[in-house]
């Protein structure tokens, strides 16, 4: 069913383009070419290295008659098969009515608010440590209604399985500002992966977030409630803050601190590919995470940063240093590490996943990005 959804959107896009032939003369294409060498080191000094490459391509189409078309493709190498994987990141049509914006097609959807992890996103794990993941892009219909200059309502119907309406995932989000604070309230409902009966076993989530300034500090927080039965759900809590200091030379140092409380079973989807976790995590146990970020913009071309994710339950930690350097207007060098520290079989420490796959002790990725 996914291909039929893409065909439907392509038909709509090409019909709109042919109806306005002057658009063709103004279209442009751009993107990014990434090439990197990645590797992982395991407990027994076994190492795994592999090259990886990806190409982001976006077709830039100027708006016309309150309409906007976005098309972006992503091509990447698959280390497991050695083949190329192709998918659309964006393939949507947007129309602006007098008091409504309607977007139809494959589109990026994230309710991020500056946190490193977001337990109340439309799809948990869509953004991880300022990096977007594949789960951010969905086949969906989105309606955005601005109530006034600082308040709005957004409704989303997403189709993970193409046009299979029995598995539709939908949500609604309200947003406003109060006393300088950005406030949101949302609700998401999706079919259980093991049961398509929406009325009997739908996974549901309610979330609230707030963000604003407290003197020189930025502060934010979120509360989420996940449930099938409203009387037997589980809560997630997040609280964080950040601070920036600018030097006279123009460089900047940035601090961010965040605390997250949630059920252990929800970690896999929230952390995404950042770390390998057992899919059979304890459904009852609670996890307390402390996240930090320190970044230093050396100048307008280079920057270093350090992320840490620590479990306060067993004190295992992930250290993630990064370095970027813009060599020219089009070429950037990137290097990132991930070091996993902890005792045997702790959350982020060494051990086996499901008794079979071994967790890495350290991973590294270094390469270049060419923008055009």
> How far apart are alpha carbons 16 and 124 in whole angstroms?
34
Among the residue ranges 24-33, 91-100, 337-346, the one predicted with the least confidence is: 24-33
Strands 331-341 and 362-371: antiparallel
In whole angstroms, what is the distance from residue 190 CA to residue 173 CA?
15
Q: For 331-361, give one letter per residue: b (16+ CB within 10 A) or e.
A: ebeeebebbbbbeeebbbbbbeeeeeeebbb
Closest CA to 145 of 179, 182, 183, 176: 176
Cα separation of 140 and 224, whole Å?
23
- Using alpha carbons, select from 300, 309, 314, 304 the residue that is nearest to residue 346: 314
What pLDDT digit, counting tens, does each position of 270-307 carry?
A: 887 777 776 566 666 899 999 999 999 998 899 999 99
Fold of 2-371: Porin (2.40.160)
Each residue's pLDDT tens digit, 14-56:
555 555 555 556 778 899 999 999 998 887 678 888 898 999 9
Predicted model pTM: 0.86
Cβ 136 vs Cβ 156: under 8 Å: no
For the chain, the domains span 2-371
DSSP string covering 146-169:
EEETTEEEEEEEE-TTTT-GGG-E
Distances (CA, A) of 177 to 149, 183, 340: 10, 6, 40
Query: Of 181, 175, 237, which is closest to residue 210 (Cα–Cα)?
Result: 181
For the stretch 201-239, pLDDT in tens is: 689 999 999 999 999 999 999 999 999 998 889 999 999
């Amino acid at each position: 069913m996914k291909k039929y959804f893409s065909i439907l959107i392509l038909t709509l896009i090409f019909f709109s383009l042919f109806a306005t032939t002057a658009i063709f003369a103004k279209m442009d294409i751009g993107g990014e070419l990434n090439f990197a060498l990645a590797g992982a080191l395991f407990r027994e000094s076994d190492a795994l290295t592999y090259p990886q490459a990806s190409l982001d391509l976006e077709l830039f189409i100027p708006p016309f008659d309150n309409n906007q078309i976005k098309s972006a493709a992503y091509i990447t190498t698959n280390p497991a098969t050695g083949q190329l994987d192709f998918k659309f990141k964006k393939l949507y049509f947007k129309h602006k009515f007098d008091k409504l914006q309607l977007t139809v097609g494959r589109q990026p959807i994230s309710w991020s608010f500056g946190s490193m992890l977001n337990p109340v996103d439309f799809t948990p794990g869509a953004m991880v440590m300022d990096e977007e993941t594949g789960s951010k892009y969905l086949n969906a219909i989105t309606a955005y209604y601005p109530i006034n200059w600082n308040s709005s309502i957004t409704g989303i119907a997403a189709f993970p399985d193409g046009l299979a309406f029995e598995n539709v995932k939908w949500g609604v989000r309200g947003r406003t500002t109060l006393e300088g604070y950005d406030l949101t309230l949302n609700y998401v409902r999706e079919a259980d992966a093991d049961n398509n009966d929406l009325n009997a076993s739908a996974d549901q989530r309610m979330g609230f977030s707030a963000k604003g300034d407290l003197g020189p500090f930025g502060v934010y927080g979120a509360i989420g409630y996940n449930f099938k039965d409203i009387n037997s759900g589980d809560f997630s809590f997040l609280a964080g803050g950040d601070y920036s200091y600018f030097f006279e030379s123009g460089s900047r140092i940035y601090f961010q601190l965040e605390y997250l409380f949630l059920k252990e079973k929800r970690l896999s989807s929230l952390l995404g590919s950042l770390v390998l976790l057992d899919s059979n995590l304890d459904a009852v146990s609670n996890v307390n995470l402390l996240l930090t970020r320190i970044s230093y913009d050396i100048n307008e071309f280079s920057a270093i940063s350090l992320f840490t994710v620590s479990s306060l339950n067993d004190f295992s930690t992930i250290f993630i240093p990064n370095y970027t350097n813009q060599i020219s207007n089009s070429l950037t060098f990137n290097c990132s590490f991930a070091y996993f520290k902890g005792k045997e079989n702790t959350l982020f420490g060494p051990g086996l996943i499901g008794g079979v796959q071994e967790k890495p002790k350290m991973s590294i990725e270094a390469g270049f990005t060419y923008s055009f």
